[in-house]
């Protein structure tokens, strides 16, 4: 039965190129009532025991990393730009449903003095040809969410590593598909959680690992971001392929009553708590407010523009949802998500230990006991505990950009790991564990905040897995190209 189920999922995902496996009916609470509990709880039994532990796995080093990009919207185009700076990278393939998007990426390569890449613009399933090509080592996936797992699986089946934008998976089946495929193919499936590489998050992570926090007790994270402009940025063409989100996919996703975007807040907290490497998330409970804004905004837009009348029947998610998680080692985590309230941006990022406390939003501060560190003490902490990756490429990252530099550090670190044969910082178990909060929170919200177990995607290996060293010991050899552009940005080197 296990083999037949996995074969069925793989066949409908890859053989036909149709994205159908495991995608729930959006906004239909009947799909997540009580009968769903046993499906989620027993999902691990439908997959084999661990065939190979990808935690700590160092793939054979690559002298050069040939990168193919699938999805060249805002995130994908930015990634192409950043990769042009990193030594040892060859951008060999570009895939999108829009020729204009590929043309824009080609211009980025030309401006950087790099060769143009092969193009794959053959509709929704063009990624299959890219993933089966012989000129790619890493597939960088920045598509709408429903395509993340199908493309990642196609990449790994095609003997490529996969790097997947957040959230990596939307359903429990998709989480297990990533894990099973990565273990079987021994190809990395990396979640591209850029917030794990922001400067304060890296500083506090290093402080945790150096013992300054004592025992971690509690962590909080969030994605609180008013996306009104992006949700209602109407496409200009009939195929709905431009605008902030192609085919209005982000607005469609917000019919789902779940934390559909948990990883920005959760990822850095899980790294600090060594989740999957000494601890694991045990169970979760979630709650969501009613919708006070999204449906109202749809009505406002529809009154002005008939285009938005197609969304009038949508049952939208609430404003704020909150997930509470207990870990096996007794720690607690709170994750918040709100993309429709008019309020300032925040990811919170809070860590509370027996000796130290840190929080990033709204005020960045670190405290020992009741005393908040003053500016002089903060400078001392930064001098002592800034990790090597920031010392090595932090200033350059700020110049190259990408959310203040964290995007560049994420990409640089991934390439450096692949070139030097180092374990990746965020492996497939992280991709699955952080992403599965979406279906788990959906079930809990639909069932009056009852708790539900978080699957152990490591199948017990979390007890012996070791944290990944971010100090770059034995690595950190990747530099930055001297590009032919005359601008200062294209003459940076380390």
The predicted-structure confidence for 298-328, as pLDDT tens digits, reads as follows: 999 999 999 999 999 999 999 999 999 999 9
Reduce the DSSP state of residue 90 to 3 states and report it: strand
- Name the superfamily (CATH) of residues 195-386+427-463: Dihydrodipicolinate Reductase; domain 2 (3.30.360.10)
C-beta separation of 64 from 138 below 8 A: no
C-beta separation of 222 from 348 below 8 A: yes
112-121, 167-176, 285-294, 475-484: range with lowest mean pLDDT? 475-484
pLDDT at 40 over 80: no
> Which of 224-245 are b and which e, b meaning 16 or more Cβ less than 10 Å from the residue's Cβ?
bbbbeeebbbebeeeeebbbbb
pLDDT at 411 over 60: yes
Q: How many CB atoms lie within 10 A of CB 219?
A: 29
Q: How many CB atoms lie within 10 A of CB 117?
A: 23
Looking at residue 491, its pLDDT comes to 31
DSSP characters for 342-384?
A: SS--B---EEEESS-EEE-SSS-EEEETTEEP-HHHHHHHHHH
Output the CA angle 387-211-220, nearest 5 degrees.
80
Counting beta carbons within 10 angstroms of the beta carbon of residue 458, is it exposed (0 to 12), middle (13 to 18) or buried (19 or more)?
Answer: buried
Residue 301, Cα to own-chain centre: how many angstroms?
A: 31
C-beta separation of 452 from 36 below 8 A: no
Using CA atoms, how far apart are residues 130 and 67, in angstroms rounded to an integer?
10
Residue that wins the pLDDT comparison between 473 and 104: 104
pLDDT at 493 over 50: no
pLDDT band at 22 (very low <50, low <70, confident <90, very high): very low
pLDDT at 11 over 90: no
pLDDT at 110 over 90: yes
**What number of residues does the chain have?**
494
Tokens of 454: 């978080």
Counting beta carbons within 10 angstroms of the beta carbon of residue 203, is it exposed (0 to 12), middle (13 to 18) or buried (19 or more)?
Answer: buried
Output the CA angle 364-284-257, nearest 5 degrees.
85
Looking at residue 38, its pLDDT comes to 60
Average pLDDT, integer, range 437-443: 97
Q: How many CB atoms lie within 10 A of CB 198?
A: 22
Looking at residue 478, its pLDDT comes to 84
Reduce the DSSP state of residue 218 to 3 states and report it: strand
Cα separation values, 457 from 215, 216, 469, Å: 25, 23, 21
DSSP state of 196: G
Nearest to 326 by CA among 287, 288, 284, 286: 284
| pLDDT, tens digit, 9 for 90 and up, residues 188-238 | 999 999 999 999 999 999 999 999 999 999 999 999 999 999 999 988 776
Percent of the chain at pLDDT above 70? 85
Average pLDDT, integer, range 384-403: 93
Reduce the DSSP state of residue 458 to 3 states and report it: coil
Looking at residue 471, its pLDDT comes to 60
Beta strands 321-327 and 332-338 are: antiparallel
C-beta separation of 27 from 256 below 8 A: yes
pLDDT band at 333 (very low <50, low <70, confident <90, very high): very high
pLDDT at 33 over 70: no
Using CA atoms, how far apart are residues 13 and 429, in angstroms rounded to an integer?
21
Looking at residue 197, its pLDDT comes to 97
pLDDT averaged over every residue in the chain: 89
C-beta separation of 171 from 24 below 8 A: yes
Using CA atoms, how far apart are residues 352 and 129, in angstroms rounded to an integer?
48
pLDDT band at 330 (very low <50, low <70, confident <90, very high): very high
Looking at residue 26, its pLDDT comes to 35
Average pLDDT, integer, range 249-276: 97
DSSP state of 229: H
Looking at residue 484, its pLDDT comes to 37
Tokens of 462: 């979390």
Average pLDDT, integer, range 114-129: 96
pLDDT band at 39 (very low <50, low <70, confident <90, very high): low
- Tell me the sheet residues that pair with 70: 95, 141
Cα separation values, 125 from 150, 286, 380, 390, Å: 10, 35, 52, 38
Looking at residue 236, its pLDDT comes to 75
C-beta separation of 47 from 458 below 8 A: no
Output the CA angle 171-437-444, nearest 5 degrees.
95
Average pLDDT, integer, range 444-471: 94
Q: How many CB atoms lie within 10 A of CB 437?
A: 28
pLDDT at 364 over 50: yes
Tokens of 314: 């949508």
Percent of the chain at pLDDT above 90? 81
């Amino acid at each position: 039965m296990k083999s037949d189920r996995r074969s069925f999922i793989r066949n409908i995902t890859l053989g036909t190129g149709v994205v159908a496996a495991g995608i729930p009916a959006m906004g239909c609470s009947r799909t997540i009532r009580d009968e769903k509990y046993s499906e989620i709880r027993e999902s691990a039994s439908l997959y084999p025991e661990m065939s190979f532990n990808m935690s700590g796995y160092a793939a054979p080093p690559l002298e050069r990393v040939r990168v193919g990009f699938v999805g060249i919207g805002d995130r994908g185009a930015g990634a192409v730009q950043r990769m042009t700076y990193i030594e040892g990278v060859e951008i060999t393939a570009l895939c999108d449903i829009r020729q204009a998007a590929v043309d824009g990426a080609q211009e980025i390569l030309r401006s950087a003095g790099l060769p143009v890449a092969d193009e794959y613009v053959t509709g929704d399933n063009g990624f299959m040809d890219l993933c089966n090509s012989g000129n790619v080592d890493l597939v960088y996936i920045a598509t709408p969410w429903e395509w993340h797992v199908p493309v990642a699986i196609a990449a790994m089946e095609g003997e490529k590593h996969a790097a997947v934008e957040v959230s990596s998976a939307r359903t429990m089946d998709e989480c297990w598909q990533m894990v099973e495929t990565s273990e079987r193919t021994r190809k990395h499936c990396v979640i591209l959680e850029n917030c794990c590489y922001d400067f304060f998050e890296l500083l506090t992570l290093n402080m945790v690992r150096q013992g300054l926090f004592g025992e971690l007790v509690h962590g909080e994270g969030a994605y609180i971001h008013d996306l009104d402009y992006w949700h209602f940025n109407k496409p200009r063409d009939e195929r709905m392929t431009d605008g902030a989100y192609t085919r209005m996919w982000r607005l469609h996703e917000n019919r789902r009553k779940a934390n559909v975007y948990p990883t920005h807040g959760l990822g850095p907290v899980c790294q600090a708590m060594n989740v999957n490497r000494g601890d694991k998330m045990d169970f979760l409970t979630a709650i969501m407010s009613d919708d006070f804004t999204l449906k109202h905004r749809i009505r406002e837009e529809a009154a002005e523009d008939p285009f938005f009348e197609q969304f009038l029947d949508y049952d939208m998610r609430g404003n704020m949802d909150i997930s509470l998680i207990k870990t096996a080692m007794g720690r607690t985590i709170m994750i918040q998500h709100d993309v429709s309230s008019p309020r300032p941006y925040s990811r919170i990022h809070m860590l509370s230990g027996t000796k130290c406390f840190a929080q990033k939003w709204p005020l960045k501060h670190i405290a020992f006991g009741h005393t908040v560190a003053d500016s002089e003490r903060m400078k001392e902490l930064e001098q002592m505990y800034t990790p090597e990756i920031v010392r090595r490429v932090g200033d350059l990252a700020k110049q190259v950009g990408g959310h203040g530099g964290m995007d560049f550090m994420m990409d640089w670190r991934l390439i450096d790991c692949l070139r030097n044969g180092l374990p990746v910082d965020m492996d497939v178990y992280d991709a699955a564990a952080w992403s599965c909060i979406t279906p788990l929170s959906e079930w809990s919200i639909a069932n009056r905040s009852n708790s539900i177990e978080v699957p152990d995607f490591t199948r017990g290996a979390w007890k012996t897995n070791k944290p990944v060293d971010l100090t770059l010991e034995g690595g950190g050899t990747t530099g930055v190209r001297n590009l032919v552009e005359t601008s200062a940005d294209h003459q940076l080197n380390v």
